[in-house]
Amino acid sequence: MFGKIGRNDPCWCGSGKKYKNCHEMFDTKIQKAKLTGHIVPPRNIIKNEEQIEGIKKSCVINIAVLDEIAKQIHEGMNTAEIDKIVYDMTTDMGGIPAPLHYEGYPYSVCTSVNDQVCHGFPSKDVVLKDGDIINVDCSTILNGYFSDSSRMFCIGNVSPEKKKLVDVTKEAVYKGLDEVKPWGFLGDMGQAVHDHCFANGYTVVREIGGHGVGLEFHEEPWVGYNSKKGHEMLLAPGMIFTIEPMVNMGGVEIFTDKKNGWEVYTADHKPSAQWEIMVLVTETGHEVLCY
């Protein structure tokens, strides 16, 4: 690559430790996987301890904001009120809402109701009514470190069909999480998510997925759910990515609102649900950093 690192030289990860006591074994495993044809993580997505600590502090804000939304969300509330709570609380805690001005996105949060798949614009004209399901997707920047997670909320009396969609989507995320372990593959997770949704008669959106996160809002790898066990990127300790499937009650097809270029809907206007968690691959398994 860029010349060989001596075993007593400082490790490339920035830990300050000697290479032989840090990522030497790691690199051997990566090389082996590469030689057998696997996709392997680039070094710039492997976080060191200091970076993980910084990312965790960002997650503390993101979790607190979503906990606050959980307390305040109610029938009759408009989604612009959710945007204000997210902006105020994030900035009060010293953070910046990551969506605001991200590639021109005009709000601090995404609020996606019923047949909205993702990137729903908060609006005073969108008033939550009895029976709605809504995804609130929050992301925070703190000291340059990014966090990202989303939750579903059921407003009033939600039909059993919609409630099941919401529950199964969450179950699918955690079935995927069970598969996250060092030296496994991203496809192990993807297939577990997909299988659970498919078994319940749902479809999983193909075009939009999860992503590496932490040092940037969106990093490698792209995280899909139409993947197969043993395929996609090798998972290595220090990787952080989101699991965030968008699950449709009806068909898999989606479209983007041409007026604003952001809001995504199901083509058949049947409901869609999404939960998003942020997970760290550890030496022994995984750790959920944000939910």
Contact residues: ligand MF3, CB under 6 A: 99, 102-103, 105, 110, 119, 137, 139, 148, 211, 242, 244, 276
The first and second tokens of residue 117, run together, are 């798949």
By CB under 5 A, residue 115 contacts Co ion: no
By CB under 5 A, residue 58 contacts Co ion: no
Residue 105 touches which of ligand MF3, Co ion, none (Cβ within 5-8 Å per kind): ligand MF3
CB 79 to ligand MF3: min, Å? 14
Candidates 82-90, 127-135, 141-149, 231-239; binding stretch for Co ion (CB under 5 A): 141-149
CB 254 to Co ion: min, Å? 16
Residue 23 touches which of Co ion, ligand MF3, none (Cβ within 5-8 Å per kind): none
CB 253 to ligand MF3: min, Å? 20
Between 164 and 218, name the residue whose CB sits nearer to Co ion.
218
Distance CA 83, CA 49 (A): 32
Strand partners, 203: 248
Residue 291 touches which of Co ion, ligand MF3, none (Cβ within 5-8 Å per kind): none
Residue 223 in contact with residue 271, Cβ under 8 Å? no
CB 109 to ligand MF3: min, Å? 8
By CB under 5 A, residue 148 contacts Co ion: yes
Residue 212 in contact with residue 219, Cβ under 8 Å? yes
Distance CA 223, CA 101 (A): 23
What stretch of H or E contains 165? helix 160-178
Distance CA 182, CA 123 (A): 42
Distance CA 71, CA 17 (A): 44
Dihedrals phi, psi of 34, to nearest 5 degrees: -60, -45
In DSSP notation, 257-287 reads: -TTTS--EEETT---EEE-BEEEEE-SSSEE
Candidate residues 62, 90, 169, 242; the one interacting with Co ion per rule CB under 5 A: 242
Between 148 and 179, name the residue whose CB sits nearer to ligand MF3.
148
Residue numbers of the site for Co ion (CB under 5 A)?
148, 242
